[in-house]
């Protein structure tokens, strides 16, 4: 009877604070049951309404735990001491169909020319079915070269993708389909210069609302330049500024769909 009670126990409720929601979305990205993600989406929207109301908000996040990163496929001896986490929460002047079109566009270096020295994408699933709603998951690997300060370049691979979460029609939490994207760097970057880029974990959530899409972006990186304190505020500010610029570019692309085939 005790084992039966354990088997029937309802899962823990989704967090209600943005700090815990960050790792919650990262860890539950591939859950087969959408209701906990829908509960998290409703809690995220409620947190935004209560703590921000309008406009955007960015800040620092606590580090992920070793258990978190191992669950994402990283080795059990992964060093998480140099990790820096940030988040940004903002309304986007887009629809989720536009967001999907931008994410699925293969030549991201054309859309974000200042972000990459080189960019290539290898699709792991068919993506033509995603936008019309015939499938709800797309996966791809990204091969990237980017530039750091002092002439340093880094080459690395990211495992990424996009999913559509469909809550049940009877959902008492967030009832609309919404998008999520998760990105993980499985191996440290190859760095040409005096720097290092060892880890990156990213989660994005796009919640459709009446007039816009509420976009949540959380990022944890472990990287830097030799001789600079990895815990210096500079790194948090740099990561947050890059996310804000990225979100501003998304708004601009939603206004120019001819650039990505919208």
> What distance lies between CA 22 and its chain's CA centroid?
9
Residue 175, phi then psi, degrees to nearest 5: -100, -10
* Mean pLDDT along residues 2-31: 79
pLDDT at 5 over 50: no
Q: pLDDT tens digits, residue range 216-242?
A: 999 999 988 776 776 777 789 999 999
pLDDT at 16 over 80: yes
Q: What is the DSSP string of 81-146?
A: TT-EEEEEEEEESS-HHHHHHHHH-S-HHHHSTTT-SEEEEEESS--TTTTTTS-SEEEEEEEEEE
Kindly state the helix (H) or strand (E) to which residue 158 belongs, with its residue range: strand 153-165
* Mean pLDDT along residues 67-80: 95
Least confident of 6-20, 138-152, 187-201: 6-20
Please tell me the distance from the alpha carbon of residue 217 to that of residue 22, in angstroms, as a whole number: 8
Residue 202, phi then psi, degrees to nearest 5: -140, 140
pLDDT value, residue 6? 43
Q: pLDDT tens digits, residue range 92-110?
A: 999 999 999 999 999 999 9
pLDDT value, residue 172? 73
pLDDT at 7 over 50: no
* Mean pLDDT along residues 243-260: 95
pLDDT confidence tier of residue 165, bands split at 50, 70 and 90: very high
Please tell me the distance from the alpha carbon of residue 36 to that of residue 10, in angstroms, as a whole number: 11
* Mean pLDDT along residues 138-157: 89
pLDDT value, residue 250? 97
User: What Rg do the C-alpha atoms of the chain give, in angstroms?
Assistant: 19
Please tell me the distance from the alpha carbon of residue 164 to that of residue 100, in angstroms, as a whole number: 9
What's the pTM? 0.92
Strand partners, 182: 203
Please tell me the distance from the alpha carbon of residue 118 to that of residue 122, in angstroms, as a whole number: 14
pLDDT confidence tier of residue 247, bands split at 50, 70 and 90: very high
pLDDT confidence tier of residue 195, bands split at 50, 70 and 90: confident
pLDDT value, residue 2? 52
Residue bearing the bigger pLDDT, 130 or 152: 130
Q: pLDDT tens digits, residue range 53-64?
A: 999 999 999 999
């Amino acid at each position: 009877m005790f084992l039966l009670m354990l088997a029937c126990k309802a899962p823990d409720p989704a967090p209600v604070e943005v700090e815990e929601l960050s790792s919650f979305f990262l860890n539950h990205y591939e859950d087969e049951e959408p209701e906990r993600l829908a509960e998290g989406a409703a809690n995220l929207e409620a947190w935004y309404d209560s703590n921000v109301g309008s406009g955007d908000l960015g800040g620092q996040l606590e580090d992920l735990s070793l258990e978190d990163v191992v669950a994402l496929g990283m080795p059990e001896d992964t060093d998480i001491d140099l990790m820096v986490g940030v988040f940004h929460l903002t309304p986007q002047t887009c629809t989720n169909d536009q967001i999907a079109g931008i994410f699925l566009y293969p030549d991201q270096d054309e859309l974000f020319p200042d972000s990459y020295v080189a960019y290539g994408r290898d699709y792991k699933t068919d993506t033509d079915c995603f936008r019309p709603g015939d499938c709800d998951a797309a996966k791809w690997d990204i091969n990237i070269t980017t530039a750091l300060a002092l002439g340093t370049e880094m080459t690395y691979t990211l495992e990424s993708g996009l999913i559509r979460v469909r809550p049940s029609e009877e959902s008492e939490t967030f009832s609309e389909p919404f998008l999520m994207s998760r990105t993980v760097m499985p191996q440290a970057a190859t760095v040409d210069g005096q720097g290092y880029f060892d880890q990156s974990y990213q989660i994005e959530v796009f919640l459709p609302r009446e007039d816009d899409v509420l976009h949540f972006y959380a990022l944890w990186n472990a990287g830097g330049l030799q001789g600079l304190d990895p815990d210096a505020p500079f790194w948090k500010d740099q990561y947050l500024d890059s996310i804000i610029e990225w979100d501003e570019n998304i708004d601009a692309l939603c206004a120019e769909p001819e650039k990505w085939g919208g």
